[in-house]
Amino acid sequence: MTRRTFTLADAGREFWRHPSPWLIAGTLVVAVCARVAVGDWQGTDAVVPVAMLAAFPFVEWVVHVCVLHWRPRRLGRLRIDPLLARKHREHHVDPRDIPLIFIPWQALLWVLPVALGVALLAFPRLGMGLTFLVCLTILGVAYEWCHYLIHSDYKPKTAAYRAVWRNHRQHHFKNEHYWFTVTSAGTADRVLGTYPDPAGVATSPTAKNLHGVTTGR
């Protein structure tokens, strides 16, 4: 029998079974309500989403390279191997393990409060800071959805999504040293030199075992 086509509705039902989308979306709802309550809309509020959209591919790249692909290190007897890096190595071992696709909810328990602190303290106006928080959580939900969809059985229907899908799957199945963006293709990778012609890149023996480190699973 032919397997039923995996649809966006199927993907959506699975997506909302996991805690991280709910944590980010819940923060988004609270941020939107607070932003509307505060008011004080100014022109600079329009600059925030534009700047964040432009910066997001580069933020993705830096986090992916420097945090998720962190190589475990020892400082004396102390092993420095953060949760995000450990979970990401497990994700590379089995890219189809659905819970490992999502940002670990344990990490969000400190990431989201830090984001709130930045929104409250790092901007000249409370309204502007809340605009930042709204945009950040929208980007967070979009990241989780895009990353999940790429690793699901949903097949690309458009050229734009196919490019994003191919870009991330090449990172997992071709060579983990390239193609670090997730929600875009050929943006930060192209600027930062990690967007080579796949035909000229050797398949990496450690794409499923980052750094040759055995996971703790």
User: Which of these, 13, 22, 183, lies nearest to 109 by C-alpha position?
Assistant: 22
Q: Does residue 64 fall inside a structural domain?
A: yes
Burial of 57 (0-12, 13-18, 19+ CB in 10 A): buried
Q: Does residue 5 fall inside a structural domain?
A: no
Q: Does residue 104 fall inside a structural domain?
A: yes
> What is the count of structural domains for the chain?
1
User: Which of these, 120, 100, 128, 115, lies nearest to 26 by C-alpha position?
Assistant: 115
What pLDDT digit, counting tens, does each position of 105-149 carry?
Answer: 999 999 999 999 999 999 999 999 999 999 999 999 999 999 999
Ordered alpha helix ranges (H), 63-123: 83-93, 98-101, 105-121
Q: Does residue 8 fall inside a structural domain?
A: no
User: Which of these, 80, 112, 111, 85, lies nearest to 100 by C-alpha position?
Assistant: 85
- For residue 211, what pLDDT is reported? 84
- For residue 36, what pLDDT is reported? 98
Residue 2 has pLDDT above 80, yes or no: no
**Nearest-angstrom CA–CA distance, 185 and 168:** 8
Q: Does residue 6 fall inside a structural domain?
A: no
Any bridge partners for residue 75, and if so which? 78
Amino acid at 141: V
Calculate the alpha carbon distances from 133 to 74, 121, 208 in Å. Answer: 35, 12, 34
What pLDDT digit, counting tens, does each position of 29-62 carry?
Answer: 999 999 999 999 999 999 999 999 999 999 999 9
Range of the structural domain that residue 27 is part of: 19-212
Average pLDDT on 180-194 reads 94
Residue 186 has pLDDT above 90, yes or no: no
**Nearest-angstrom CA–CA distance, 139 and 27:** 12
- For residue 215, what pLDDT is reported? 54
Q: Does residue 49 fall inside a structural domain?
A: yes
Q: Does residue 72 fall inside a structural domain?
A: yes
What pLDDT digit, counting tens, does each position of 148-164 carry?
Answer: 999 999 999 999 999 99
Q: Does residue 111 fall inside a structural domain?
A: yes
Contact 27, 112 (CB under 8 A): yes
Residue 216 has pLDDT above 80, yes or no: no
**Nearest-angstrom CA–CA distance, 36 and 170:** 42
